[in-house]
Amino acid sequence: MSGRLDEAFARARAEGRAALIGYLPAGFPTMPDSVRLVRAMVEAGVDLVEIGLPYSDPLMDGPAIQQAVDIALRQGTTTDVVLQAVTEVSEAGATALVMSYWNPIERYGVERFAAALTHAGGVGVITPDLTPEEAQPWCEATERHDLGRVFLVAPSSTDSRIELICGACRGFVYAASTMGVTGVRANVGSAAADLVARTKARTSLPVAVGIGVSDGRQAAEVADYADGVIVGSAFIRAVLDAASTNGAMSAVSRLAEDLAAGVRGHADVRVR
């Protein structure tokens, strides 16, 4: 399955651009609507989707994602529901990862989760609070089931720490553009470009930037130096601000189109 993850980045690279990665929690605002919204994102230009596994203690997440996760949990979204969402979006042609804190995976069972995700058609997992030192069982399970595993580097990471994290990744490396919780920002921040440069010096894997990107202009800025642009809070805010499900679908599609235009707008000047 991780081959499909590699292929998504390879396709974007062949077009001289960054891959666009969108995030939405499963079960938000309802299970059926979350699948419909993810499909709309993909149809409008998103290359990869992160299906969020709602968790009651989302330490890294800002207000928008916390609100969405709370709605999903009140809808009764469980790990099995998340896996069903992955199945449905994968059957619709999307390349889907799961974004999850470690506790839900550990409680579900590491081997059981890896096997179930592969069966659902998922290509990997982003684990923002799992460190390589504590990840041996997870690394072994992802190898057995051919899943990508994505760890995070941050502006505060030392060069030796970045090298360690990159060595544990499979698929791509997630570069958090700034310290702090997720959320849209007026500017992505200059630390992101430096972090990507330091990370690229230590790995041949694609490096994707998340936290703060909210529109096509910012996506184009990040696409100048990163292999992937990750957007989450902006999609959630579009849904939260919509007056209806149809309105949410339209808002998510418009945002995805704007972001896709951003990452594609630099195709003629990107150097690979």
Q: Which sequence positions are flagged as catalytic?
A: 50, 61
Tell which residue, 242, 246, 241, 220, has the closest CA to residue 231.
220
Q: CB-based burial of residue 178 (10 Å sphere; 0-12 exposed, 13-18 middle, 19+ buried)?
A: buried
Q: Are 123 and 148 in contact (CB under 8 A)?
A: yes
Q: Are 85 and 31 in contact (CB under 8 A)?
A: yes
Q: Which residue has the tokens 């894997």?
A: 205
Q: DSSP letter string over 70-114? A: HHHHHTT--HHHHHHHHHHHHHTT--EEEE--HHHHHHH-HHHHH
Q: How many CB atoms lie within 10 A of CB 160?
A: 9
Kind and range of the H or E run holding 48: strand 48-52
